[in-house]
Structure 1
């Protein structure tokens, strides 16, 4: 199964939400669609970002990429309920490298 990453900048926390709720919301949204392999939070140039690695059922490339994009947008939508977000990236694992896909 092809492996993908959704990388989402977190620019603020909405009132009344604990910081851990950001990753919980992202993981729940993604797990409802695909198998989540891993998740992490990093600070890149002073901006928090979450990364979720997930698998997409093997089909043809265009269907897999479309499914990965839909999943990443679902993650962003779920996280927007608890936090404000910035840039969203989707990457695909190809020959040992993570290749960015356009949204």
Structure 2
């Protein structure tokens, strides 16, 4: 089964959102629909980014998981530059 990842830049938090809840909420959202392989938080050029890696049968299914995850995170914070990628060998390629 192919591996995918959704990467979301995190902007301003919604009122009352604890910053420590955003990444677990993203992973839980994806887990509602598929198997989550890993999740991570990184700061890239001063911007926090969360990544959730998961499996899906195909690009269509992965797109559904990515959109759902994005929608859940948008209830907690502004989402910047969401990107869905698929792993081929050792590289990640954008899903179109």
* TM-score normalized by the length of structure 1: 0.88
Is there any run of 5+ residues in structure 2 with no aligned partner, and where? none
Pair 1:8 & 2:8 matched? yes
Instruction: Give the aligned partner of residue 69 of structure 2.
Output: 75
Task: State which structure, 1 or 2, has the greater radius of gyration over its C-alpha atoms.
Answer: 1
Paired residues in the alignment total: 96
1:99 to partner: Cα distance: 0.9
Return the match for 1:66 from 60, 70, 73: 60
Is there any run of 5+ residues in structure 1 with no aligned partner, and where? 58-63
Aligned-pair Cα RMSD in Å: 0.9
Pair 1:55 & 2:44 matched? no
What is the CA deviation profile of residues 27-85 of structure 1, one whole-angstrom value per residue up to 9, with x for unaligned ones? 1110010100000011111111100110113xxxxxx1011111111111001111111
1:2 to partner: Cα distance: 0.5
* TM-score normalized by the length of structure 2: 0.94
Distance 2:19 2:43 in 1: 14
